[in-house]
Amino acid sequence: MSKVIRMTGMLVCLVLAVVVALLSITAGDTLYLVYLVVASLLGVAAGIIKNSGKR
């Protein structure tokens, strides 16, 4: 995977995490937990994208 694609992918994950953080402001207790799960998965995704293409 090229550096540009990796950088774009990580940025998309970061932007989505910010969107999720903003959405979580109005969320109830249960929905908030869902947002936490989504954010951590986005973090994992960003990490995988960053490390893809490496041995």
Partner 1 sequence: MMPPRWKKVLADLWVNKTRTLLVAMSIAVGVFAVGMIAESRVRMLRGLSEDYLRGDPFSGVIATEQTFDRELLNAIRKIDGVAEADARQGVTLRLKVGPNQWKTLNLDAFRDFDDIRVGKMSPVRGQWPPEDKTFVVERSAMNPALGETLAMGNSYVVETLEQKQRRIEITGVVHDLNLPPALFTGTYTGYITEDTLEWLGETRGQYGSVLFRVDKEHYFDQEYITVVAKAIRDKIEKSGIEVREIFIPPDPGESPVASFGLEPIVLILSAVGVLAVFLSGFLVTNTISGLLAQQTKQIGIMKAVGATTKQVMGMYFFLVVCFGLLALAIGAPLAYIAAGLFSDFFATLFNFNAKSYGILPEVLAMELFVSLVVPILGATYPLIRGSRITIREALASDSGAGGYGAGIIDRLINKVRGLPRPMLLSLRNTFRRKGRLALTMTTLVIAGATFIGVFCVQDSVKLSLDEFFQSLYRFDVGVDLDRKYRSRQLIQEAMSVPGVVYAETWGSIGTRRLRADGTESETIFLQAPPPDSPLIGPLLLKGRWLKPDDENGLVVSSGLVKAEEDVTVRDTITLKIKGRESDWQVVGVVKGFGNEMMAYANQPYYEREVREAGVSADLRIVTEQHDAAYQEQVQDSIEQHFREIGLNISSSTTLASEYQQTVDTFNIIIYCLLIMAVLTAVVGGLGLAGTMSMNVLERTREIGVMRAIGASDFSVLQIVMVEGIMIGMISWALGALLAFPLSKLLSDSVGTLFTGTPFSYTYSVNGALLWLGISVALAALASFLPAWNASRLTVRDVLAYE
**What is the binding site for partner 1 (CB under 8 A)?**
13-14, 17-18, 20-22, 24-27, 29-30, 32-33, 35-37, 39-44, 46-48, 50-52, 54-55
Q: How far is the CB of 5 from partner 1 (least distance, A)?
A: 14
Q: What is the 3-state secondary structure (H, E, C) of the chain?
A: CCHHHHHHHHHHHHHHHHHHHHHHCCCCHHHHHHHHHHHHHHHHHHHHHHHCCCC
Q: Which amino acid is at 17?
A: A
- In the complex, the smallest distance separating the C-beta of residue 55 from partner 1, rounded to whole angstroms, is 6
CB of 2 to partner 1, least distance (A): 13
